[in-house]
Structure 1
Amino acid sequence: MQAEIKTKISDITFIGSGISSSFTILHFLDKLEATPDATEKIYITIIDKYSEFHTGIPYGSRSGYSVHLITSLKNFLPEPELSKFVKWLNENKGWLLDNLKKEGGDLSIEWMQTHAQKIENNDWEDLFIPRRFFGCYIEEKVNSRLDKFRQEGRLEISCVTGEVIDIEKEAERYHLSLKNDQVIVSHKVVLSVGSLPVNHLWKDEDLIEEDNLLFANDPYKPELAQTLQKIDAFSEGLGNNTPINVLIVGANASGLEMLYKFNDIAHIKSRIHKFSFLSTQGLLPDSVIDTEKRKEYVPEHLKALADKESLTAQEIANATYKDLDHADEINLGAASTVEIVSKAFGTLLGKLDTDELRKFACFHGNEIGRRQRCAGFHYSKTVDALKAEGRFNHIAGRFRDLKKNDNGDYVLQYLDTQTKTNLIDQDPVHIIINCVGSTNLSKENIPVLLQNMIKKGYAKANDSNIGFEVNEDLETLPNLHIMGPLLAGNIFDGKAVWHLEHCGRIIWLSKVLSEKFSSYFLNTVE
């Protein structure tokens, strides 16, 4: 297929094959199916750095079967896709659970046993299911639908494994240069590469191994299973006489997943003396809903803005923070307040003019989101168990450096959140996992393709610095479209967009883009 694409000009080329691309393709195929008189064959190329297509990192083999959604299934996937997925789960749960059991450990077995009755009854909506289940579903769905249209002669699809490093606009076409010197020519291009890469905290390598230190800057590269194998071998090599300490930097979904996997695999867990988290606020995502306090909680500061005819983004943000502060004062966590607070500030966004709405999308949405992090009980239960054993510590601060003590062990240097001074944690640390999150478009460590696009003026970062400015057709240039997390900081259909790792928002915007394709290729008008 790679040789064949050299002789053809692609109609649409997707750079990246995660769920943003997958849902765009699925929605476009719906449009194609509804237009039987459109007989001209459409050529689609999908390029990905890895050989696995249609899932991306979160839902593919690089994350594996035994890490879970950060929300319940019903909050992860909107209708009508939710019902379709549940039906598929009911039909495929046997082999899915077999794979979970094969790859997972003690906690995976416990999860299956705890929810055995719900699984037996096909009652999935409230479960925090393994993410890989959804990846298997979307991969099967995309492949089967593409095969159908290919057999009908309406579509030709080429999947190319490689990394796009440059793009050049020539007349009405784009020339995509790959790292392996291959060039692909396309009328339309969709840049859908997912989130920006992680920030390397210490040294410029994905995985650093020294005599008494293993530092994983990107635990999912090349895949989580290989990182865990490295951790297993490293911890075994230190021997039983070394009390091994683990530090996870960043109290987010990835951090909780890593803690869960350390404790899922018995022979790794048994070697670990203590786990520590380092995060700015010193707080973990919340998982327990306090139903009684939740009934009494009212976001008074946001409610007070309801009668104002016009507002600024800063006013809404300030009121939101005050209401979240009040929730903290009464010990009511994000799991109990996120729906209430989000609805309260969401209804106020309609009072913002376009400029203020864009400010909210660029500056305030993600900051508020950091105060509203939630997680599944299976993750928080792991923390609670470690706390009960006296094996868990959470430091409020920012990573600064590693220093060697007199014994030759590494210790953590961090900027303390409260005192704003650099401190040293005296406990030696042997395994460090970087989960601090992604870089931004102003940094030098962004992919070379994005660097080249910015240098050429093909794309410009918006004020969020994590997304590109696009027009209503999701374009930075004519026929050069953006899809997925790089759309953060924009406004579509009067709605501000700031967090595009959310599956519901991805489905919505992929449908918007597919409608643009339908108009372009099929002459349909919405």
Structure 2
Amino acid sequence: MTLLELAEALLSAAPKIGKLRIAVVERDDQLWCGIPYGRRSSIGSLAIQKLDEFVHEPERSSYIAWLERHKPRWLALFRRQGGEAAERWIRDNRAALDAGRWGELYLPRFLFGDFISEQVDAGIAQLAERELAEIVTIRAEATSARYTDGRHVIGLNPAGHGPTAIEAAKVIVAIGSPPARTILADDSEPPFAYVNDFYSPSAQTNLEQLCQALNKVEPLERRNVLVVGSNATSLEVLYLMRHHARIRQQVNSITVISRSGALPHLIRDQPPEYGFPRIRALLSAETVDAADLMSAIRDDLGTAQKRSLNLADCHHAIGALIGQVLQRMTLPQQEEFFCVHGMNFTKLVRRAGRDYRQATDELAAQDALSLLAGEVVRVHACAPGQPIATLSYRAEGAEHTHPLPFAAVVNCAGFEELDECSSPFLVSIMCNKLGRPNRTNRGLLVNDAFEATPDFFVIGPLVGGNFNSTMRFWHVENAPRIRSLAKSLATNLVASLRTASKTSRVTQTPTSAAANPRANVTLANNVG
């Protein structure tokens, strides 16, 4: 999205900046889709937001036009390759598809990847045709970053015989989220099936691993799956397992453990009549601090839940009220709420569309799914060499051992925090003082121009938790928010390129070391 917005900014810039050399580093062999919208996700994976919330104008109209224009092709592909999940989705959404009610659909995610890829390819072609920029793609993993002699040097682990380093005047870190946080005590290979990151190397590969693990275990009563975490990824795992015929035939039960013991709430689009009295009372208070607001949120949502109101449909109303209260708070207290309490609020009102929640409800109705509120203490082998795991967890102040053995464990516990990060690239950034964690410890601190340090820009989930004049978000993990921020970043980048010295303009001849090419801009995109 950053490259797409940069292309649009360069094409409309006046006067022209001069021809740029832009390197894009990506470790996957599929460009422009990242993890959610590319082949590492299942073709059956759905957007977690309906289209009306997922894409904003003017992109929304372009996306809908693209969906309409290519509808016969992508529907046939989806039906052919998507298996039971695709068949069910098409059947359940046929009326909306036929009537063109795109805004209410939770669409297959690969469609957005195809749409964006076409746009990026067209933008690159226009830049080349008008001699505004040369885009060089490098298949490699970015492993280090340092600043030396007035240039940024990005170390690479190439897939083949590519360069091992690249120099750039400006760097855009667009690597997605930090790595998944492991739940195992050590790095040794466990005897049971363990999926640490459901999308690595791909969702389909890991579904097959689950099949094989279940098939090896006898009797049926031992073919249980443990899913750690109850976030959107967990919901997707359950959805894909529900619509995977072999897993459905082989699995005895699925247990989901999380601190809340609850999956994201079903969106019914029927906002309840509830006034959120505790939050509303803060609008007339003389002073409001962040802790008061969070306490009021917990009280009101707790009351709503006791009244069996749907928390998913409370989302927009409570969000609007919180926005009003924040306007009455001092800037330091606003920052406190964004950096300390914001993610806790989000966890309370996690939402899910009908397709995903329908699958989990069906699993529960078949007694194949149980939810457990607790904190994982350890997951370890039941006995040496046996392909069975045992779960120890803490709940209500005591440690327990789950009575079921597990043939497979799927980790959906979320991402690492930066102070204990295993990503060599992120570690290098922090060690070489090109960036440091912000207060959330989940993102890098940046200024209002997206710079962690001069000419070292960050975009995507890693800017969550920043509080400045450009961005005030506790999480940046959805497409419309990233697209909006990418527009701002592109504007800032073009402005900085315009004022840069001649030495930061394109160099037509690389340095004497062929393995160390130069670029004006490097987009490190290896995590996706």
Match for residue 41 of structure 2? 63
Does residue 1:182 correspond to 2:160, yes or no? no
Q: 1:178 to 1:272 in 2, by over 3 A?
A: same
Aligned length: 495
Q: CA deviation at 1:203?
A: 5.0
Q: 1:476 to 1:433 in 2, by over 3 A?
A: same
| 1:346-404 CA-partner distances (Å, limit 9, x unpaired) | 22222233322222221111111010111111111112212222222111112222355
Correspondence for 1:147 among 125, 140, 147: 125
TM-score by length of 1: 0.89
1:497 aligned partner, one-letter code: F
- Given that residues 104 and 264 in structure 1 are in contact (C-alpha distance below 8 angstroms), is that contact kept between their aligned partners in structure 2? no
RMSD, aligned α-carbons:
2.2
2:212 is matched with 233
Other-structure match for 2:326: 349
The change in CA–CA distance for 1:412 and 1:281 in structure 2 (over 3 A counts) is: farther
What is the deviation of 1:45?
0.9
1:52 equivalent to 2:34? Answer no
1:198 pairs, out of 177, 180, 193, with 180
Q: Is the 8 A contact 2:283 2:328 kept in 1?
A: no
The AA in structure 2 aligned to 1:184 is I
Distance 1:34 1:405, change over 3 A: closer
Kept after mapping to 1: 8 A contact 2:23/2:137 = yes
Structure 2 residue identity aligned to 1:420 = G
Q: CA deviation at 1:39?
A: 5.7
Match of 1:56, SS state, is coil
CA distance in 2 between counterparts of 1:78 and 1:51 reads 29
Q: CA deviation at 1:251?
A: 0.5
Greater relative contact order (Cα < 8 A, sep 6+):
2
* Pairs within 5 Å for 1:63-462: 63-180=41-158, 182-202=164-184, 204=186, 208=189, 210=191, 213-238=192-217, 243-289=222-268, 291=270, 294-308=271-285, 310-403=287-380, 410-417=388-395, 419-443=396-420, 445-462=421-438
The answer to whether structure 1 residue 475 and structure 2 residue 451 are counterparts is yes
Contact 1:205 1:217 in 2 (8 A): no
Q: Tell me the amino acid that sits aligned with residue 35 of structure 1.
A: A
Whole-Å Cα distance in 2 between the matches of residues 409 and 447 of structure 1?
A: 29
2: CA distance between counterparts of 1:421 and 1:413? 14
Q: 1:486 aligns with which of 453, 462, 468?
A: 462
Q: From the superposition, tell whether residues 164 and 364 of structure 1 become closer, same or farther in structure 2 (CA, over 3 Å).
A: same
Letter in 1 for 2:210: I
Preserved CA contact (<8 Å) 1:55 1:135: yes
Q: What are the ranges of 5 or more consecutive residues in structure 2 without an aligned counterpart? A: 501-528
Query: C-alpha separation between the residues in 1 aligned to 2:466 and 2:367?
Result: 45
Residue 511 (1) aligns with residue 511 (2): no
Distance 1:178 1:304 in 2: 55
Query: Residue 117 of structure 1: CA displacement?
Result: 2.4
Amino acid at match of 1:513: L
User: Alpha-carbon deviations, 1:185-220, whole Å to 9, x = none?
Assistant: 1111011111111111125559x563xx21111121
The whole-number CA distance in structure 2 between the counterparts of 1:302 and 1:290 is 22
Comparing 165-174 with 508-517, greater Cα deviation is found at 165-174
Distance 2:470 2:16 in 1: 32
Q: In 2, Cα distance between the equivalents of 1:151 and 1:288?
A: 46
1:48, distance to aligned residue in structure 2 (A): 1.3
